[in-house]
């Protein structure tokens, strides 16, 4: 059985070579790694270049980073310069758990909208982080007409997940159960769900992505095999990963 870890941060591992090889041995066939800070972007591209058949980068500025930055020009130019090396933009979004002042919120918003505009103009998928800000995030995505969207580590209410799914957005599930997440898994169609670890933050390593698959399978009362096939297919379609074989 094969899985795709649709979201993690390989740059945060010193021993990323071992992490990648453990993932491959445990049935992970692709890893999407996000470089979303000033310091992580170069290393993220470097790791992906080293594993062109199984590690794919997305680049952005996470909202927790954005709120203390003055300008996003150099981050956006980096993304432009590396356009052919990335498969998407992210993670970007809003995090009202960390942003306390109106200034911090408006910095997050400015950054999110800039990168979102870029992703739409380049027809790239966008990986969105939202925490305590799901409604605002969804409003911005709708207003901008975003179509290729992955809501990663979604922890908002079911009603918001439902309207996201109605718009064709995908929601990725980390290997950490919670009551709201269980509701989302239960009621959102399998076609709209992806698997992720957010390693090293939620899952320990990308090899833990099978725990996300088990979680989805047990709540939806499906075989893990079916979850593996459906999530792999949806992930490959969202990120246009045509080069990967066995996507069936």
- Residues near Zn ion, by CB under 5 A: 198
E strands along the chain, which residues? 3-8, 28-35, 55-59, 88-95, 126-131, 149-152, 170-173, 193-195
Q: Least distance from C-beta 118 to Zn ion, angstroms?
A: 19
DSSP letter (8 states) at residue 101: S
Least separation in angstroms between residue 153's CB and Zn ion is 7
179: Cβ contacts below 8 Å, ≥ 6 apart: none
Euclidean distance between CA atoms 186 and 103, whole angstroms? 37
Shorter beta-carbon distance to Zn ion: residue 64 or 234: 64
Shortest gap between Cβ of 178 and Zn ion (angstroms)? 17
Q: Residue 90 or residue 228: which is nearer to Zn ion going by CB?
A: 90
In the bound state with Zn ion, the residue whose beta carbon lies nearer, of 29 and 63, is 63
Of 8 and 140, the one with the shorter C-beta distance to Zn ion is 8
Q: Which residue is nearest to Zn ion (CB)?
A: 198
The token pair that represents 127 in the structure block: 């990986």
Surface-to-core class of residue 232, CB atoms within 10 Å of its CB (0-12 exposed, 13-18 middle, 19+ buried): buried
- For Zn ion, the closer CB: 35 or 109: 35
Please, which residue, 28 or 217, has the CB nearer to Zn ion? 28
> Least distance (Å) from Zn ion to the CB of residue 221?
29
CB of 241 to Zn ion, least distance (A): 19
Closest residue by Cα to residue 9 from 170, 110, 153, 213 = 153
- Sheet architecture: strand order including 55-59: 3-8, 28-35, 55-59, 88-95, 126-131, 149-152, 170-173, 193-195
Q: Are 115 and 89 in contact (CB under 8 A)?
A: yes
Least separation in angstroms between CB 207 and Zn ion: 17
């Amino acid at each position: 059985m094969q899985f795709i870890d649709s979201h993690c941060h390989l740059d945060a591992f010193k021993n990323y070579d071992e992490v990648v090889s453990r993932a491959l041995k445990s049935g992970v066939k692709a890893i999407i790694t996000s470089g979303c800070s000033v310091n992580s972007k170069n290393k993220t591209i470097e790791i992906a270049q080293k594993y062109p058949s199984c590690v794919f980068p997305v680049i952005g500025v996470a909202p927790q980073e954005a709120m203390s930055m003055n300008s996003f020009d150099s981050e956006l130019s980096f993304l432009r310069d590396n356009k052919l090396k990335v498969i998407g933009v992210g993670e970007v979004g809003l995090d009202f758990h960390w942003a306390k002042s109106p200034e911090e919120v408006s910095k997050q918003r400015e950054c999110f909208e800039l990168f979102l505009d870029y992703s739409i103009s380049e027809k790239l998928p966008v990986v969105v982080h939202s925490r305590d800000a799901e409604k605002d995030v969804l409003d911005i995505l709708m207003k901008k007409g975003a179509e290729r969207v992955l809501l990663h580590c979604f922890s908002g209410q079911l009603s918001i997940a439902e309207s996201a799914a109605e718009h064709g957005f995908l929601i990725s599930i980390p290997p950490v159960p919670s009551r709201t997440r269980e509701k989302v898994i239960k009621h959102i169609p399998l076609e709209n769900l992806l698997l992720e670890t957010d390693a090293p933050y939620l899952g320990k390593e990308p090899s833990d992505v099978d725990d996300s698959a088990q979680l989805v399978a047990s709540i939806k009362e499906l075989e893990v095999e079916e979850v593996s096939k459906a999530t792999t297919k949806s992930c490959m379609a969202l990120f246009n990963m045509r080069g990967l074989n066995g996507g069936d």
